[in-house]
């Protein structure tokens, strides 16, 4: 799950900077609710096991087990990270490697146009904002020609 957190934190020190970050209480609650919702969704979809993101309780094998373990943890127990999600529905010419065609249309599904960071082939290893904007603009400009 992704939670857009409130800005917080600061950088301490001048010669040897030390970044400090503290997750806002509101965002901590949202993150735990998201963990719970994802687990419920996965079990409802037929999962036999759910990875929890909690190192001391890494797996839940039933919805009840998931609920019980999430009732016992705080956000400090979660293993969290931040990233730019890109490349999940990459566009490209090879249908074996790219779920979307070069113009951003999802293969095998009529009318689905991919115009966000997922259309990139992978993570560009730098802030992808300009790459995403350029890809979205290119996809959007070509879409009317194909849809009429």
Q: Is 110 a catalytic residue?
A: no
Angstrom distance (rounded) from CA 101 to CA 90: 8
Catalytic residue among 84, 92, 101, 106: 84
| Encoded tokens for 5 | 């957190």
Active site residues: 84
């Amino acid at each position: 799950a992704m939670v857009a957190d409130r800005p917080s934190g600061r950088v301490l020190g001048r010669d040897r900077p030390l970044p400090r970050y503290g997750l806002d209480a509101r965002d901590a609650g949202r993150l735990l609710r998201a963990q719970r919702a994802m687990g419920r969704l996965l079990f409802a979809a037929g999962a036999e096991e759910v990875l929890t993101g909690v190192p001391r309780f890494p797996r839940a094998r039933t919805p009840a087990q998931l609920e019980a373990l999430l009732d016992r943890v705080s956000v400090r127990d979660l293993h969290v990270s931040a990233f730019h999600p890109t490349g999940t529905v990459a566009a490209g010419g090879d249908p074996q490697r790219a779920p979307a065609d070069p113009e951003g249309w999802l293969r095998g599904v009529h009318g689905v146009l991919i115009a966000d960071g997922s259309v990139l082939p992978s993570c560009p290893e730098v802030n992808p904002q300009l790459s995403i904007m350029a890809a979205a603009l290119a996809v959007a400009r070509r879409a009317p020609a194909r849809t009429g």
